[in-house]
Structure 1
C-alpha cells in the first residue's frame, strides 16, 4: 500500500505540475478569456442547465488555469469524463481547490485509510466535497468505517450525518467495533424509522427503552430486521422456551438464528433429553443454540445414540424442514 501510495502521488504531482506550467505559458492573462459557464459545458461536460447553476461558484475566477489543473488531477487519479462531470455538478467549488495544497494531501489521507484508488474514485464521484473537507465532523478512523460500507459512500453528506447522529443516539460508541455495523443497520432501516422499530422491540419483548438500547448496542443489525422475522422468534423464545426479556436483550444474537432450522430443533432435542432424565443439570439455552453444528452434535446427539436411537435422525429431519412451513411438529421419537 505504501508503494502504491508513493507511486500514485508522485505521478499525480508530476502530471499536475507539468500541466499547470503548460497552462500558465499558453493561457492569456485577460479576464475576458474565461467564461465559467462555457468552461463547464465544453471542458467539464455539464449540461447547459447544470453549467448555469454551477457557474456562480466560479464567478470570481479570472483564468482557467486552476480549473484545468483540477481536471488534470482528477483524470490522473483515475476518474473518467462522466465521473468528473458528476463530481463537478455536485460540487463546482472543487474546481477552485488547490491541487498541491488541498487535493493531493487529501488523496494521500484517503490512501492512508486503506482505500484503493478505485474506491477513492468512487467516493469522489459520489461525495466530491470529501476532497475539500472531512465529513460530518468525524475523525479519520470514523470516516474510514463510514466509507468502507459500500452503500454508505453513495450518500450525500447530510444523509451520512443523519445516520451517524442516529448511531450516537442509540448509544453505540464511535470507537466500538459495532459502530460500522450500526451505520449499516441504520442505513438499511432508514433513520426515520428507527424510533418506530425501537417501539416495536419494546412492545414485543416487554422491556424498557434502556433494555432495548442494550440489545442494539450489542447487535445493531436488530433494527434492520423485519417484524415478520422477529415476532414469531420472540414469541417462541418467551412462550415456549420461557426466556425472560432481560435474558434476550443481553443476548440479542439469539434472535438472529433461524427459528425453524435451529432454535426449534435444538430446543426439542433438549426437551427430549430432559424427558428421559438424561440431562443432569439445566443448560444455558443461548450456549446451546450458538454452538456450531459439529459441537452440538458431539455434545447432545452422539452420546445418546444407543439410549435414544432415533434422536439424531429426528433432529436432522426437523432441521431440514422448509422455513416456510406454518407449523413445526417438533421431534417425534
Structure 2
C-alpha cells in the first residue's frame, strides 16, 4: 500500500492556492473524501509504469489507480504516456492530465495522434500543443467532429488565418470547449453595434480573450455600465472598461466603490480615476486599498496625486512600488535628493530609466545598496 502524505489535507487548508502547483494536494482536492478513505491498492504494473518509468508522485499514482479498479492495461498507459512525452509533454503536464481524469490512461495513442494533427495543421509546435491541452484538459473529452473542428472553423472565419487562431489558442484554449455560437459570436456583434471597429474588437479579443466567453447578457450590461460612466464608445478606454465590468459582479463593484469612498475619494474622484485607467479597478478592493495606503503613507503623495495618476496603484507593491520607495528613502536620508519625483514619474518610469535617474548619479555613495534592491525587484519580476 502506498501511504498518502499526512500533511496533504493541512496544506490544502493552510494555503488554498497550493493545490494549483502541488500535484499531491491537487490530487487530494480532486478526489472525494469518501473515496479517499478507501485503501489505495494500485495495480503493481500501473504503479511501476507511472512512478518508476514516468516519474509520477506515489500519492497521485495510488489515487489514480483507486479510481480505476478494473483498469489493468499498463501497456496502453505506458504507450500513451511515452507518446505524449515524445511530443514535449513534461511530467507535470502528464500528471495534470491524470489528475483531471485518470481514465485518460486508457486512451489509445491513435486517438491522441488524430487530435495532435488537428493542432499541428494550425502551425502549433509540440510544446504549444502540450501547453494548450494540459491547461484545458476538457479538450480531450470534446468531440473533434462536432465540437473542436467546428470551433476552429468559426475562429478561422473570424480571425482570418490559422496563424491567428493559433495565436489566440495559445492565450486561451477555452475557445475549443465553449459554445462559440452562444458566447463569442453574439459578443462580437454587441461590440460591433457600439460602432467599435473590427480591428479594435480583435485587439480586445487577443488582449482579454475570456471576456468574449461570458454570456451576452453580461456583455450587454458591461456596455451599459461603461456608457453610464460617460466613456466614449469609440475610445480605447471603453474597451478597457468592458474588460473590467465583464469580470466584476455588481456586488463586488459596490465593494470596490465603498472601499475607495472609505479611503477618502469622492464619487467624482472615482469616476475620474476609472475613466483614466479602468484596468486599475480589476484588482480586488483589498489590493487597491493596500496600494493606496502604501502611496499615502510615504507622506510625499496625496489623494489628488492618485486621482491624477491612477495607474500608479496598478503596479505591483513587491515588484515596483516598495523597492522604489526604499531607494528614494535611502537617497533622502543621505541628503542626496531634495524631493521625490512626481507620482507619475515614480510609478511609470521603466527600471532602466529609474536606475539612470536615481541610482547611477549616486553610485559612489550608495550604488551597491540601490543595485541590490533593484536586482531583487527584477528577479522577483522574472520569477
Q: TM-score, normalised by structure 1?
A: 0.55
Contact 1:305–1:311 under 8 Å retained in 2:
no
Contact 2:327–2:373 under 8 Å retained in 1:
yes
| Structure 2 counterparts to residues 18-37 of structure 1, below 5 A | none
> Judging changes above 3 Å, is the alpha-carbon distance between structure 1 residues 223 and 283 closer, same or farther for their aligned structure 2 residues?
closer
> Judging changes above 3 Å, is the alpha-carbon distance between structure 1 residues 135 and 188 closer, same or farther for their aligned structure 2 residues?
closer
1:186 aligned residue: 245
| Structure 2 counterparts to residues 175-324 of structure 1, below 5 A | 175-204=234-263, 206-280=264-338, 282-316=340-374, 319=377
Q: Between Structure 1 and Structure 2, how many residues are aligned?
A: 219
> Judging changes above 3 Å, is the alpha-carbon distance between structure 1 residues 245 and 305 closer, same or farther for their aligned structure 2 residues?
same
How far the C-alpha of 1:180 sits from its partner, in A, is: 1.4
1:115 aligned residue: 159
C-alpha distance in 2 between matches for 1:127 and 1:309 = 54
Q: Are positions 1:150 and 2:209 aligned together?
A: yes
How far the C-alpha of 1:179 sits from its partner, in A, is: 1.5
How far the C-alpha of 1:83 sits from its partner, in A, is: 8.0
Answer with 133-142 or 174-183: which moved more. Answer: 133-142
Q: Are positions 1:125 and 2:181 aligned together?
A: yes
Q: CA offsets, 1:256-304, max 9 Å, x none?
A: 1221332122122222222222225552233023211111111111121
Larger Rg computed on CA atoms:
1
Structure 2 counterpart SS, 1:278? coil
Q: Which has the higher contact order (CA 8 A, sep 6+)?
A: 1
Contact 1:166–1:191 under 8 Å retained in 2:
no
1:138 aligned residue: 193
How far the C-alpha of 1:80 sits from its partner, in A, is: 5.3
Contact 1:84–1:125 under 8 Å retained in 2:
no
The list of structure 1 runs, each at least 4 consecutive aligned residues, that deviate by more than 4 angstroms after superposition, is: 82-86, 117-124, 127-131, 142-147, 320-323
| Structure 2 counterparts to residues 70-89 of structure 1, below 5 A | 81-82=146-147
1:8 aligned residue: none
Contact 1:181–1:221 under 8 Å retained in 2:
yes
> Judging changes above 3 Å, is the alpha-carbon distance between structure 1 residues 145 and 203 closer, same or farther for their aligned structure 2 residues?
farther
C-alpha distance in 1 between matches for 2:364 and 2:191 = 63
- List gaps (5 residues or longer) in structure 1: 1-78, 87-106, 324-333
C-alpha distance in 1 between matches for 2:150 and 2:345 = 55
2:223 aligned residue: 164
Q: TM-score, normalised by structure 2?
A: 0.48
> Judging changes above 3 Å, is the alpha-carbon distance between structure 1 residues 116 and 126 closer, same or farther for their aligned structure 2 residues?
farther
> Judging changes above 3 Å, is the alpha-carbon distance between structure 1 residues 281 and 248 closer, same or farther for their aligned structure 2 residues?
closer
- List gaps (5 residues or longer) in structure 2: 1-143, 169-174
> Judging changes above 3 Å, is the alpha-carbon distance between structure 1 residues 174 and 312 closer, same or farther for their aligned structure 2 residues?
same
C-alpha distance in 2 between matches for 1:124 and 1:144 = 19
Structure 2 counterpart SS, 1:173? coil
C-alpha distance in 2 between matches for 1:229 and 1:241 = 20
